[in-house]
Structure 1
Amino acid sequence: MVNSLQLATELGQLLLRKKWTITTAESCTGGGIGYWLTAVAGSSAYVDRAFITYSNKAKQQLLAVRSATLLQFGAVSEQTATEMAAGAAKAAGAQFAISVTGIAGPEGGSKDKPVGTVCFGFYLDGSIISLTERFSGDRQQVRQQSIDYALKRSIELLTASLN
């Protein structure tokens, strides 16, 4: 089984090949993606900064997420994840950004957005892909699955962009 450090190392190698920098905008993962990215020796070559935007206020102030987006779609939505990724990339001057916002639990879920619902945004040099996943388990398991998913999906996206 591939672990977070291996995934972060592989992602870093791809970023170096593309000569790109990365930033993250994290909510439910609380900086976990940034932690693994910077656990790799030499990561300062592609990581300059990251954002932990747990509150809606932080999302608005640091990432320029629109209040209308939060009101209409909620903090846990692909629309918010998209604005988070774009805002982080712009603020950091990065070519690649990962955003994550979700409900890790144990409370906070609803019928439409149960615990384990996590929305991701991936900014790739001007284009953005957003998607929603549902993970199971306790709070820590949902967070770890979200971190690993974000790293794996980033590797897939960067690998495809090299071909």
Structure 2
Amino acid sequence: MHTDAQIDTLARTLGALLLARGWRVTAAESCTGGGIAQAITAVAGSSGWFDMAFVTYSNQAKQQLVGVPAHTLSAHGAVSEATVCAMARGALQTAAADIAVAVSGIAGPSGGSPDKPVGTVCFAWAQAGAVHSETRMFTGDRHSVRQQTIAHALHGLIQLLGQAQS
């Protein structure tokens, strides 16, 4: 389980990297309901690297706010790497940010299926035309799944920034 202090440390590290580079970050969130943006903006001075994010809980919001094509949602579902890749690209473009993360998953306690059980979370990180995605399985209650998702999303942004340095 990731604690608030661990998430705060990740957010501070992310902020320092973004500030040093002069970059801005955005997020398109479903299962975390704004938790990634909250973690980022809990850091004093975050207005220097954060302008906006998108909470896209419904399929309609995913389409309207970050441009996920209806055919992507119908073919792959909201909890899919195809959908989070589209979310990340759309958030990056709409927010005019340099780096983005998108998450969609099943935090529980209900909503899971044999194909996508509770704890399934899809992630995508995007920057300048490049998108990387993955699916993770987390355990625990709803709060735990959401905390693990926020921490993993922030960690992925930090990793992407580290790769961008080279």
Q: Same fold per TM (> 0.5)?
A: yes
Choose the corresponding residue for 2:145, options 142, 145, 148: 142
User: 2:128, 2:71 → 1: CA distance?
Assistant: 25
Q: Alignment partner of 2:140: what SS?
A: coil
Output aligned runs, 1:12-161, within 5 Å.
Answer: 12-161=15-164
User: 2:70, 2:94 → 1: CA distance?
Assistant: 18
Q: Alignment partner of 2:104: what SS?
A: strand
TM-score, length basis structure 2:
0.95
- The number of aligned residues is 163
Q: Alignment partner of 1:115: what SS?
A: coil
Q: Give the gaps of 5 or more residues in structure 1.
A: none
Once the two structures are superposed, residues 56-103 of structure 1 have per-residue CA deviations (whole angstroms, 9 ceiling, x without a partner) of 000000010000000000000000000000000110000101100000
Please provide the CA RMSD for this pair: 1.0
Q: Alignment partner of 1:20: what SS?
A: coil
Say which is worse superposed, 15-24 or 99-108, in terms of deviation. 15-24
Map of 2:12 onto structure 1: 9
User: 1:126, 1:18 → 2: CA distance?
Assistant: 18
Q: Alignment partner of 1:90: what SS?
A: helix
Measured after TM superposition, the shift of residue 152 of structure 1 is: 1.0
- The sequence identity of aligned pairs, in percent, is 54
Measured after TM superposition, the shift of residue 125 of structure 1 is: 2.1
Q: Give the gaps of 5 or more residues in structure 2.
A: none
